[in-house]
Amino acid sequence: MKKMMTGNEAVARGAYEASVHFASAYPGTPSTEILENIATYKEIIAEWAPNEKVALEAVIGASFAGGRSLASMKHVGLNVAADPLFTFSYTGVNGGSVVISADEPGMYSSQNEQDNRNYAIHAKIPMLEPSNSQEAKDMMVDAFNISEEYNSVVLFRMTTRICHSKSIVELGERQEISPKPYERQLDTYVSVPRNARNNRHKVEDRMNRLQEYTETSKWNYTISHGSTVGVIASGMSVEFAKEALGETVDYLKLGFTNPLPKNLIQEFCDNHETVYIIEENDPYIENYAKTLGCEVIGKDLFPYTGEMTPDVIKRCVLSQQVEELEVPQDLIVPRPPTFCSGCPHRGFFYELGKKRKKIIVAGDIGCYSLAVGEPYRMMEWLICMGAAYSTAHGAQRIIDLKDDDDRRLVAVMGDSTFFHTGINSLLNTIYNGGNTINVILDNRITGMTGQQDNPGSGFTLQGGDAAIGDIEAICRALGVKHVRTINPNDLALVKETINWAMDLDETSVIITNWPCVLKKHYKDEDFEMYQDMWKTKDYVIEEKCTGCKACLRSGCPSLIFNPETKKTSIDPYTCVGCDVCAQICPYDAIQKEGYHE
């Protein structure tokens, strides 16, 4: 049977056909949908983990116990998981194991553009790179065979365009493979120096054997059109090059890319007068080819950043400019990313903005990072997940050394980020006697990546009930003496709580607790805790509205200002009755409308 699938859906199907037993991940674009689709296969235990390191560690345990296991993450997630990955390379596997890295050339939703192919070289593990959905499914099946044959975790490198674009996939049957017996292997799995030194030699032997494999791998092959010009590419760049250059050139398509096939590359270069190496991000293949003495054209012609889309390739190789549709710029309405209507983060950032000259705000990764934009302009830095508290602590240490600077550091992160690595970051502040104000914007869900459940939401990935992590209790258990949990839609309470924290000279934590308006699942106790949640709307009494625009400082997209009438109105279809704008209005022109079931 054939089916149209995204690359992420195809990977999930491949995991099913490969008889994967256990999968774990932390959501992150563009990899999120891999686990969401794996979760639909009830034959596979699929779990969200608090972070990528934990996900990989769970997968390692599943492999040692004999199960086929898989961890998926976006490219920066592999930085978090790098620690166990490098040791997993030494211990090897029992049940086959694969780590998926979804890289993002062009940085559409990420803080950097790193090329994770380098991790395969660094960790000394085999790597596969699909270039379409069919390959994503088929390679995933083969990845587990390679993993078990060569006793190594396999890096499966995707990119955004493969993850999210669709192509036809021929489905296969599921292999019925039972978990292998667990064997006690202290000399292998216990990675103390004595054992690690022995395993180090096994790693080198494995890479030598893989060097022979890569020359004959079915994923590395030549496509000949009788041209004197050749293109070497891997992953999505293969498809881009085919679309741009068609049958005017020959191709060396590489799908198994660590180790790279020395003889294939050398032979291809020897047989062509001109060879282009087209690849996104780093000159991974180009540098290798040059070490072989091959004369190739790579990053000296193609841009070092972004996707190598057909228009880019045509511009670089053929000096062709692709015709683009001209859109009248005056018709484009500028729409910077912003919080949703009724987002519980609005009230907090509105009040925090009043302290602008007295504070410095350290940001983190999540919906709340949108506070960097208008009208808030609150974030002063943003590094990586879980870094807000620790960067704020370091900055506060320096600020406190200065006689002429008495500003306070306010560090913000969400509930999911707190569970990810924020706990460790907060513990560092407490342990070292810090005095920062640490905020947990708890909206009961992992919002930015698409409403995935987490240890605070009460549900597992596959829909089961779960224990709810008590964030306030965790903070107190870490040693925080000053903790308050508040409703962020109550502006008077938010103001009073910020002032309370500003007056303290010890570590404090403010937890703003109100659900994301897009949250998918609720329990009965949620409706008891958050009374009248989303059951009312607000409206403007036009006679009272003076057009002062004070309400617009909430930044809510449901508020519409008419420049002709100089009055504000509220979109009834998007308003969820959070009442933040009503509390801001100085003329009581915004009132609560009736009760909606």
Q: Measured at the alpha carbon of residue 10, what is the angle toward residues 163 and 170, in degrees to the nearest 5?
A: 135
Beta bridge partners of 6: 166
DSSP string for 264-283: HHHHHHHT-SEEEEE-SSS-
Q: How far is CA 252 from the centre of its chain?
A: 31
Strand, coil or helix: 537: strand
Q: Is 585 annotated as a binding residue?
A: yes
> HSE-up of 476 (CA within 13 Å, CB side)?
9
Nearest to 573 by CA among 546, 550, 589, 596: 596
Q: Is 581 annotated as a binding residue?
A: yes
What is the separation, in whole angstroms, between the first and last Cα of the chain?
45
Q: Is 269 annotated as a binding residue?
A: no
Q: Is 340 annotated as a binding residue?
A: no
The total of other beta-carbon atoms located within 10 Å of residue 450's CB is 14
Nearest to 119 by CA among 157, 92, 176: 157
Q: Which helix (H) or strand (E) holds 516?
A: none
In this structure, the chain runs to a length of 597
Q: Is 516 annotated as a binding residue?
A: no
DSSP string for 528-553: HHSTTTT-EEEEE-TTT-----GGGG
d(CA 518, CA 340): 9
Q: Is 367 annotated as a binding residue?
A: no
Q: What is the token pair recorded at 328?
A: 């009248």
d(CA 367, CA 423): 19
Q: Is 475 annotated as a binding residue?
A: no
Q: Is 294 annotated as a binding residue?
A: no
Q: What is the token pair recorded at 103?
A: 């890289």
Annotated binding-site residues for [4Fe-4S] cluster read: 545, 548, 551, 556, 575, 578, 581, 585
Known binding residues are: 545, 548, 551, 556, 575, 578, 581, 585
